[in-house]
Amino acid sequence: MKALVTGAAGFIGSNLVEALVECGDTVVGFDNLSTGRMENLKSVEGKPNFKFQKGDIRDSASLDQACRGVEVIFHEAAIPSVPRSVENPRESFDVNAVGTLNILLAAKTAGARRVLFASSSSVYGNSDVLPVHENVAPRPISPYGASKLAAEGLGHSFSTSFGVTFLALRYFNVFGPRQDPKSQYAAVVPKFLTGLLTGGKPVIFGDGLQTRDFTYVGNIVAANLLAAARPDIQTGSYNIAAGDPHSVRELLEVLCDLTGRPYDPGFSPRRPSDILHSQADVSAARRVLGFQPVIDFREGLRLTVKSADLQRVAVR
């Protein structure tokens, strides 16, 4: 299989590229390096079945070039931050929705058979139904969630109009190695972990009782490989998660236990557009994709801490 991975130098994209290259697939990595880093692709550097192309998904000509001969597109490129989308809604929509339109047009031109889109649990908003399943009406409360939902709508319409199979994989709170802790919009796991390893004081927004379906990146990669490989899958949206929610306080407690640091958080007011509770029903992904999360919450955090410790040793 020849595949294109957008956002290839980012957190999820680089983990996916690594898995595809190890499987023997021919992979084109596409990234504008605005937040992604070439360091994330060190494991595939020089491999004969990997090629990197710097480009932006808002540049149609660059995308058309990257898509030539591609069978499957793994579309991971995005501006993934809810707080950033609140500060700059236009930027989030331009990259996440209009950028996805460009991907779909390029897929149509190239004759790609399938587009796998990195969607988000944010499309559901504060759902009254938990665990949330795919038949629950989406009600995003952030511009980020709205941009992802708009992109899903575009993908499903292209499937009907042009025959490109489109799968929206709705990720829930992904964490793991290579997740950037330095951005002011960094996700909670790398922020907490970096604070603990550098002697800082982790800060909890709100009371910390909000729950998330934290999902290790290896489970996300496995779901993508399954969705690409199964020839009979039809267009649709699927929750990809562990299906096992934990509070933010519990997250910090486990990280403190794994790093040997004391539990002593600071607290700040709850951020706008943060949902209160999130849990996925993954039965559709199990039934249709054959998906089964195999790395649980604590083991995923252990692997993440181990990776962070190794990186610190390398820096020294």
pLDDT in tens, 261-272: 999 999 999 987
pLDDT digits (tens, 9 = 90+) for 103-137: 999 999 999 999 999 999 999 999 999 999 999 99
How far is 66 from 50, CA to CA, in rounded Å? 12
pLDDT digits (tens, 9 = 90+) for 150-162: 999 999 999 999 9
Q: At what angle do helices 217-229 and 11-22 cross, to 10 degrees?
A: 50
Q: Please provide the average confidence, as pLDDT, over all residues in the chain.
A: 94
* Complete domains list, the chain, with CATH: 2-175+215-241+281-294 (3.40.50.720)
Distances (CA, A) of 72 to 34, 47, 153, 183, 240: 24, 20, 19, 30, 19
What's this model's pTM, rounded to 2 decimal places?
0.95
What confidence score (pLDDT) does residue 250 get?
98
Query: What residues are annotated to the active site?
Result: 144
Which residues have a Cβ under 8 Å from the Cβ of 300 and sit 6 or more positions away?
175, 176, 214, 215, 216, 217, 218, 219
Higher pLDDT, residue 78 or 311: 78
How far is 170 from 121, CA to CA, in rounded Å? 5
Q: Which of 57-71, 77-91, 188-202, 297-311 has the lowest mean pLDDT?
A: 297-311
